[in-house]
Amino acid sequence: MINKEWEPKLLTLVKEGISKEQIKRDISSGIIVGVIALPLAIAFAIASGVSPETGLLTAIVGGLIVSIFGGSRVQIGGPTGAFIVVVASIIREYGMEGLLIATFLAGTILILMGFLKMGAFLKYIPQTLITGFTAAIAIIIFVTQINDFLGLPNSAVPSAFLQKLTYYVRHINNTDPWSLLIGVMTIIIIVLIPRFTKKIPAVFATLVIMTAVTAIFNIPVDTIGDRFSNITFQLPKITPLDLNMDIIIKLLPSAFAIALLGALESLLSAIVADSMIGGHHRSNVELIAVGLANTMISLVGGIPITGAIARTAANVNNGGRTPIAGITHALTLLFIYAVAMPIVKYIPMSVLAGILIIVAWGMSEPDVFIKSLKINHYETIVLLTTFILTLVTDLTIAIPVGFILSVTLFMKRMADGVELNPLMYSKVDDQLLFSQELGEYDKRIRIVEINGPMFFGSVFHLQNIEEKLEPGYQFLVLRFRYVPIVDTDGLAKLKILLSDMERKNITVLFSGLNESLKIKFLKQELIEETSMFPTIEEALKNCHHLLKENI
């Protein structure tokens, strides 16, 4: 019997029973979401450098696997805008075979992450880092669509971000007015439709309208058929990958980038969905499902997938509450793929560019970006570093550097927040330390309260402890009630401090140690149990007792 912690949501819901009314709502929602997903799957595929069929195949296979094996009730899986940049760069450098291997490796990494229960740890990825690279990806998507939006020659566009901008400036005079007109109309219609009705999927309706207009009036614009001559339904074939250690080592950074993006976006989408339906997803099951989807997709020639936030939200808004909706969405795409592919070739490239520009704007979240810059200078450094590196390098560099920088700055902030507060040897009335209860105590006793974690970034405080104390004391009480952790560096510095105090015949006592620190100190033979006291009062009482004995 499967432990419920590892059970796919679909299996759980089938066991509990799904009402006929809910099944009807799920099927209806799945059809609507499938229609919404059609232009996005095609647009994301072409922007990534692969054929429209590849995008649809990816959405079908990925959507099915995520819904059947996933840990969310309503998650919709498929290709997303976040992958465009990394997929295009892998294809450019290693070809389609390299992308398939990287996707397979990413899927394997995601499965391992799930089994290692790393779903909960991903919530520690800083939001500023996510905001930075998401905004940069949005800008890159926007910039990559300028060529088709303006109808410029497609062959000579540079791949690098800055060179691409330079190319557009130099060739702006070659803008095709028809492509520009169709692109602008696409954006206007997508924006206007929701203002009149929420029942019609704006992106799909715009795709149909603009394709029909260009075909009926024979408007001379570049279409999918012009770019991809042979667009037909093809049954997926499982093709084994040519894996060897050299190519695996080369593609591992890209695979980790895909895995991290896939994990973050899937779990973020699941969290958003939970807030909308009052549910609770199983993060590790979701990671395994997304991993399975990516490994399978790589074997049939697809591109990476993840949980899609916008499509998942659309599913919830249309009444979807079980994975049946996600399965129906995939089957709807399969039906369209099998029946309507000859029509797809008439879709103008400038229409897809307009759709992706809308997607990029939604991804960029400029208000969130601006607010994040105003939090503090630490957040600003991480945000801008990740943002700029994503633009001028790629995610395999930007994400690790941004994460390392955020961790480093976090440790600095933690170290700056650590305080050593010597308490006076007469009656203490410091309200902040709540130590009025100490009353009078002997001048031969010193108390130092430590606030904050003692780790390698903050242990320098211990080296300066004697500078904060007046001479002439025989006992030093270290108050540890606000110290949650002590790492190896902290232990080493404490040992040095205790050795120095022992040479000076000063007795050191500890008060308020939490249970884990007591165990750690005893295991490391740092101090004896007789030197530890649960409260400061008991430690002081012991000091006074020892002073009387010495008299």
DSSP codes joined into one string, 492-518: HHHHHHHHHHHHTT-EEEEES--HHHH
Cβ neighbors of 504 (< 8 A, separation 6 or more) are: none
Which domains, from first to last, does the chain contain? 4-144+164-228+243-359+366-408 (no CATH), 419-550 (3.30.750.24)
Judge contact between 98 and 247, C-beta under 8 A: yes
Q: What is the pLDDT of residues 486-527, one digit of tens each?
A: 888 888 888 988 998 999 999 999 999 999 999 999 998 888
DSSP codes joined into one string, 297-355: HHHTT----EE-HHHHHHHHHTT--SHHHHHHHHHHHHHHHHHSHHHHTTSBHHHHHHH
Query: Is the sign of the CA dihedral 263, 269, 272, 278 positive or negative?
Result: negative
Question: How much is the average pLDDT of 340-356?
Answer: 89
Taking Cα atoms as reference points, which of 360, 358, 31, 307 lies closest to residue 191? 358
Q: What is the DSSP letter of 281?
A: -
pTM (two decimals): 0.74
User: What is the reported pLDDT for 468?
Assistant: 74
Judge contact between 190 and 203, C-beta under 8 A: yes
With a pLDDT cut of 70, the percent of the chain lying above it is 92
**Type of residue numbered 486:** V
Per-residue pLDDT for 545 more than 90? Answer: no
Q: What is the pLDDT of residues 192-246, one digit of tens each?
A: 999 998 888 888 999 999 999 999 999 999 998 888 877 777 777 888 898 889 9
Per-residue pLDDT for 431 more than 50? Answer: no
Judge contact between 280 and 274, C-beta under 8 A: yes
Return d(Cα 303, Cα 289) in angstroms, integer. Answer: 16
**Type of residue numbered 151:** G
Per-residue pLDDT for 170 more than 70? Answer: yes
Higher pLDDT pick, 16 / 440: 16
Per-residue pLDDT for 155 more than 70? Answer: no
State the virtual CA torsion across 524, 530, 536, 542 in degrees, nearest 10: -150
Per-residue pLDDT for 471 more than 70? Answer: yes
Return d(Cα 293, Cα 62) in angstroms, integer. Answer: 5
Q: What is the DSSP letter of 245?
A: H
